[in-house]
Amino acid sequence: MTLALSGQIVEPGIAIGQAHNIQRNEIEIGEYRIADEQVDAEIDRLIHAAAEAGVHLEDLARRLKKSAGASGEEIIRTHLAMLEDSSLVQASARHIREQLCNAEWALQLQLETLVAEFRTIDDDYIRSREEDIVQVVRMVQQVLAAEQPGKPLSDVPDRLGHTLVVATELTPNELAVLHDRGVAGVVTEHGSPYSHTAILARSMGVPLVMGVRRAQSLITEGEQLVLDGAYGIVFADPEESILRHYLQKQSESDRYRKSLERGRGRPAASLDGEALVLLANAERPEDIRRALEDGAEGVGLFRSEYLFMQGLPPDEEAQVEHYVSAIEALEGAPLTIRTLDIGADKKAHALEFEGLRNNPNPALGLRAVRLCLREMDLFKVQLRAILRASAHGPVHCMIPMLTTDREVLAVRSLIEETRLELDSEGYDHGAERMRLGGMIEVPAAALALERMARHLDFLSVGTNDLIQYTLAADRVDENVAHLYDPQHPGVIHLLEHVFATARRLQVPVSVCGEMAGDRRFTRLLLALGLREFSMQPRSLLEVKKVITETDVGAVREALARWTAGECDSSTMTLSQFLDNAQLHH
């Protein structure tokens, strides 16, 4: 009989295969006393074990760079940084000296201290870093226990092509081992979608459902499983009809992926000849090459806060270097650098400003340009770096979360002031060429667009925020996720207004929120008048395919019929109606 289990959505994708429950080779962390004269040797043991774990992590980082791209490598680099941080090995060495205990136990004591510190902070991101530190300590303890680090899955078969692994939880390390062995999918009892294991699964494309309570006891070894990552569901021992349904879905999705590859190199033009511009969203220079291969004409959103979320705030030189490597990767195509968008769910822990912490309503508080215009020193460094980088290639500067035109004017005059400073200091810059754009994410800015747009060279709609603010539904609160609807008539109305106003004022407009990269909304955005889409690189080929199969005139007409109430909106959504209209055109 089918058993349906649900968990957290991490990586969409379907996996079908046999369950293999893996038991972790938990190591015993024993405590024993050592004599004074053994202290130095015990500290040596600890240092050697940490070094060996480091060698293993370096090796893994190299392998992951090939198989999972830069983000896979970066996750392991974070672990390496934790391993090298004085708060781990040196502090554990102090425990050995002061408490005369063995290295394994000293690490355990230090782990407890670090975890207790993490727990005092009410923050999902920090909590997921807690998982990382536990994993790093376990690895050193494994070496001390004379186990091979990173090979804790000794009971897992070498070839896992038709196997879905079921585990209590997995480290990124372990997931990488499973990926190497071709695992079809993974189910875990614990773990958060923010964790590095989840991030890695997404970049490697391993279907994964996390947080399936008691999965190991409910799923029998060897039984058939179907995992639907898009819905976070796992079916154990599925009945024939479910299995058939998913086998079909899986082969459709394989065929679909292959057909997308054929679109590489083709122009993004609609059936009725409208030429569209596709741009990529990027957080790191490393994401750019692939985006260009898949047809991006530039970067429409470079999220600069990524650099600030890594640790200490980057200084001017580090920022220049970061932006210049993105410019170089773009080989002449434009880079749109969004100025710092910190606040609400985006935390940069090294930025400790009054008003960022203990804010009663962070999404409505000091965020993005509001923070930048208050913390001028921070902002000026970024503007200097952006202007200096703009000497190396085409750069646009984009301001997030604008509410009033006064903010635009303030940023403009700061840019001018910065330009004069750079001139007097003899720095090169490309200020004359640099266009200044604004993000439309606050409903009031969308409604009063005309005032704002007069001072801007281009606009980009951040639908992720525009939707949350229009519907008063926090984008990260699962309790109100059912209200977060990109097709709500209020949202559609605002989008239509923004595109029409921008067209009338002849100010270029794009969308860089998730809606632009979601194929379900491509026809809707085309019908609403959008011609420039900026999206995560993974979606470029898919969105391009929909564009090439759309007659923009036909979907516009269909939208007009829908707006006039000529269709039954109780049986389908607007985007489904437009897909249907195209099908029957």
Sites of contact with Mg ion (CB under 5 A)? 441, 462, 465
User: Phi, psi at residue 485, to the nearest 5°?
Assistant: -120, 110
The window from 347-355, 376-384, 444-452, 456-464 that contacts ligand PEP (CB under 6 A) reads: 456-464
Output the smallest distance, CB 359 to Mg ion, in A: 17
* Total interface residues for ligand PEP by CB under 6 A: 10
HEC states along 350-389?
Answer: CCCCCCCCCCCCHHHCCCCHHHHHHCHHHHHHHHHHHHHH
Of 92 and 339, the one with the shorter C-beta distance to ligand PEP is: 339
Interaction between residue 462 and ligand PEP (CB under 6 A): yes
Residue 463 site contact among ligand PEP, Mg ion, none (CB < 5 to 8 Å, cut-off depends on kind): ligand PEP
Output the smallest distance, CB 104 to ligand PEP, in A: 43
Do residues 166 and 187 touch, judged by C-beta distance below 8 A?
Answer: yes
Residue 532 site contact among Mg ion, ligand PEP, none (CB < 5 to 8 Å, cut-off depends on kind): none
Output the smallest distance, CB 400 to ligand PEP, in A: 7
Of 462 and 537, the one with the shorter C-beta distance to ligand PEP is: 462
Is residue 585 among the annotated active site residues? Answer: no
Output the smallest distance, CB 11 to ligand PEP, in A: 19
Of 338 and 419, the one with the shorter C-beta distance to ligand PEP is: 338
Residue 512 site contact among Mg ion, ligand PEP, none (CB < 5 to 8 Å, cut-off depends on kind): ligand PEP
Q: Is 511 helix (H, G, I), strand (E, B) or coil?
A: strand
CA nearest to 191, candidates 206, 170, 174: 170
Active site residue: 56, 79, 196, 392, which one? 196
Span 284-343, contacts to ligand PEP by CB under 6 A: 301, 303, 341
Residue 129 site contact among ligand PEP, Mg ion, none (CB < 5 to 8 Å, cut-off depends on kind): none
Residue 149 site contact among ligand PEP, Mg ion, none (CB < 5 to 8 Å, cut-off depends on kind): none
Of 132 and 305, the one with the shorter C-beta distance to Mg ion is: 305
Interaction between residue 512 and ligand PEP (CB under 6 A): yes
Q: What share of the chain is helix, strand, coil (3-state, %, to 5)?
A: 50, 15, 35
Interaction between residue 486 and ligand PEP (CB under 6 A): no
Strand pairing partners for 376?
none
Is residue 196 among the annotated active site residues? Answer: yes
CA 282 to chain centre: 10
Do residues 178 and 165 touch, judged by C-beta distance below 8 A?
Answer: yes
Of 172 and 400, the one with the shorter C-beta distance to ligand PEP is: 400
In the list 189, 228, 465, 474, the residue contacting ligand PEP (rule: CB under 6 A) is 465
Of 434 and 440, the one with the shorter C-beta distance to ligand PEP is: 440
Token reading at 222: 């060897």
Of 136 and 291, the one with the shorter C-beta distance to ligand PEP is: 291
Distance CA 239, CA 243 (A): 6
Q: Is 217 helix (H, G, I), strand (E, B) or coil?
A: helix
Output the smallest distance, CB 466 to Mg ion, in A: 8
Active site residue: 101, 372, 397, 512, which one? 512
Output the smallest distance, CB 358 to ligand PEP, in A: 22
Residue 578 site contact among ligand PEP, Mg ion, none (CB < 5 to 8 Å, cut-off depends on kind): none
Interaction between residue 464 and ligand PEP (CB under 6 A): yes
Output the smallest distance, CB 484 to ligand PEP, in A: 12
Q: CA torsion sign, 555 to 558 to 564 to 565?
A: negative
Q: What is the DSSP string of 45-89?
A: HHHHHHHHHHHHHHHHHHHHHHHHHHHHHHHHHHHHHHHHSTTTH
Question: Vertex 225, ends 223 and 226: CA angle to 5°?
Answer: 165
Interaction between residue 441 and ligand PEP (CB under 6 A): yes
Token reading at 118: 């993490």
Of 282 and 422, the one with the shorter C-beta distance to ligand PEP is: 282
CA 493 → CA 116, 127, 414, 438, 443, distances in Å?
Answer: 48, 39, 34, 20, 11
Interaction between residue 547 and ligand PEP (CB under 6 A): no
Output the smallest distance, CB 456 to ligand PEP, in A: 16
Q: What is the DSSP string of 251-306?
A: HHHHHHHHHHHTTTT---B-TT--B-EEEEEESSGGGHHHHHHTT--SEEEEETHH
32 secondary structure, DSSP code: -
Do residues 129 and 311 touch, judged by C-beta distance below 8 A?
Answer: no
Residue 303 site contact among ligand PEP, Mg ion, none (CB < 5 to 8 Å, cut-off depends on kind): ligand PEP
- Binding residues vs ligand PEP (CB under 6 A): 301, 303, 341, 441, 462-465, 512-513
Active site residues: 196, 512
